[in-house]
Structure 1
Amino acid sequence: MAETSDSSVRQRCFKKISVEGNIACGKSTLVKVLQKLRPNWHVVPEPLEKWQNVVGRESGSMPAEMGAASNLLGLRLGDPKRWAYTFQTWATLSRLHIALAASHPPERHTVYERSVYSNRYVFAASLHEQGSMNDTEWVVYQEWQGWLLSELDKRVELDGMVYLRAEPEACLARMRVRNREEERGVGLEYLDALHKRHENWLVDRTTVVHHPCSSDTPVLVLDANQDFESNEELQAELINQIEDFLDKI
């Protein structure tokens, strides 16, 4: 029998997954739990700081006179029609920077808080549907994002996705508790629209996708309606389900 190389063993044993879900469904909480209880995993939070303080790699920083304009997340939520395309472009680029910085094949389990796929099939698609991104912007966004994913291929491919499934009403209640300034204008109608897109994409699998990784990727659906931030028993249960999922994919 031929010997199996160390690199092929690593590639088979260690997986890259994303945690997907609505705003305030519990993703950030799960990420913190994983960082604490599975320190040997590479857990990557959503790059909120990059969105709230736009700094160019070439320019080094935003000019001081721009002030609050560097908070692209706040601008997007405050004036969607003006900033939706710009934000989705920056969000995708920032996620790709993070993904490309990771080792390939992975040397340990890697967990990302959301992915470039939810950027496209949930958030950007919803913004286009609502009229915040016009038809031309939507076509341009799909073209360059699709081309990049095709070129990068295995380097950004996911082995699985974990969907934290929570009702929009539960998400709204949590969002009000955490009280982020950028989210104050987000209402139940928007959360409901995002919930339906997550359901179509990850549960019903009716979303038309244009990249094999996104259409064929295994999905683990976890009930996130119950708040698990202070519930250690529920935290352990969720992690056990994720570990079983990692073993199977």
Structure 2
Amino acid sequence: MNKPLRLAIEGNIGVGKSTLLKTLPLELGENWYPLPERADEDPEFKRLLNEFYADPNKRVDLQAWITNSRIAECKTLRDDSHYIFERSFIGDMIFCHANFMRHERPSGELLGFYYDIMQAARDWPLDGVIYLKAAPQTCYDRILSRSRNAEDGIPMEYIRYLHNCYETHLPEIAENLGIPVITINWEAFQTTDFVAEKLEKFLQSDIYDTTIRKTA
């Protein structure tokens, strides 16, 4: 891994992305840095998230803030360091599919917003996605157990629907962008060294090399 790498951890709400992000960069070695979404730290994020869960019509405000914050963060990344994102522009696009692209005729504004995110994903490309996969009920149970105030009242139906969106749209978005995906069963939390070993083998595999060469 000579060149600086940009990886993202993706998965449903509650699957365990932030938990893995805390330890994976340390396991991968020197010069790896985590980029959390800081959901528990930023008051503006928490305000918009609370508004979204209370009124789904606020979804564009929330997603626009997340995407713009992600763009600003990408502009600060060093060229000599490796980074792991907690969610990415791909996750933003899946959120769009889950919350407004499913409408029969999305407005021109919404379509334009979606393609702006896609362009950002091309401007700051990922080298790979780690998809943590768990059943909707598992994710829902973890949401209840961690008791984040902003997540109070998330219906099980939404978690199930978002799971289906990840299953459907993550492969097609990643293929369109030429980004390889490694899927890890996260029904039970795996050890960090297990994930690091799978990731390192994957990054050295022919599958990874072939996917990257498609867009080279």
TM over 0.5, shorter chain: yes
**Structure 1 contact 22–191 (Cα < 8 Å) conserved:** yes
Q: Which residue pairs with 1:171 in the alignment?
A: 139
TM-score normalised by L of structure 1: 0.73
Structure 2 counterpart of 1:238, which letter? V
User: Aligned in 2, Cα 1:22/1:187: closer, same or farther, shift over 3 Å?
Assistant: same
Superposed, 1:150-189 pairs within 5 Å as: 153=123, 156-189=124-157
TM-score normalised by L of structure 2: 0.83
User: Aligned in 2, Cα 1:178/1:124: closer, same or farther, shift over 3 Å?
Assistant: same
Q: Is the partner of 1:84 in helix, strand or coil?
A: helix
**Matches of 1:72 and 1:26, distance apart in 2:** 22
Structure 1: give runs of 5+ residues left out of the alignment.
Answer: 1-8, 56-69, 229-233
Q: Which residue pairs with 1:31 in the alignment?
A: 21
**Structure 1 contact 15–246 (Cα < 8 Å) conserved:** no
Structure 1 counterpart of 2:128, which letter? G
Q: Which residue pairs with 1:126 in the alignment?
A: 98
User: Aligned in 2, Cα 1:242/1:79: closer, same or farther, shift over 3 Å?
Assistant: same
* Per-residue deviation, 1:19: 0.5
Q: Which residue pairs with 1:112 in the alignment?
A: 85
Query: What fraction of aligned residue pairs are identical, expressed as a percent?
Result: 26
**Matches of 1:43 and 1:90, distance apart in 2:** 20
**Structure 1 contact 21–198 (Cα < 8 Å) conserved:** yes
Q: Which residue pairs with 2:199 in the alignment?
A: 242
**Structure 1 contact 17–158 (Cα < 8 Å) conserved:** yes
**Structure 1 contact 20–114 (Cα < 8 Å) conserved:** yes
**Match status 1:71 vs 2:47:** yes
**Match status 1:195 vs 2:145:** no
**Match status 1:216 vs 2:178:** yes
Structure 2 counterpart of 1:170, which letter? T
* Per-residue deviation, 1:26: 1.0
* Per-residue deviation, 1:246: 2.9
Q: Which residue pairs with 1:3 in the alignment?
A: none
Structure 2: give runs of 5+ residues left out of the alignment.
Answer: 209-216
Q: Which residue pairs with 1:18 in the alignment?
A: 8
Structure 1 residues 197-230: Cα deviation after superposition (integer angstroms, max 9, x where no partner): 111133xx3x4x4xx87532111000100034xx
Q: Which residue pairs with 1:62 in the alignment?
A: none
* Per-residue deviation, 1:148: 4.4
Superposed, 1:51-66 pairs within 5 Å as: 52-54=42-44
* Per-residue deviation, 1:124: 1.5
**Matches of 1:46 and 1:110, distance apart in 2:** 13
Structure 2 counterpart of 1:74, which letter? N
* Per-residue deviation, 1:178: 0.3
> Which structure has the greater CA radius of gyration?
1
Number of residue pairs matched?
A: 204
Structure 1 counterpart of 2:85, which letter? Y
Q: Is the partner of 2:204 in helix, strand or coil?
A: helix
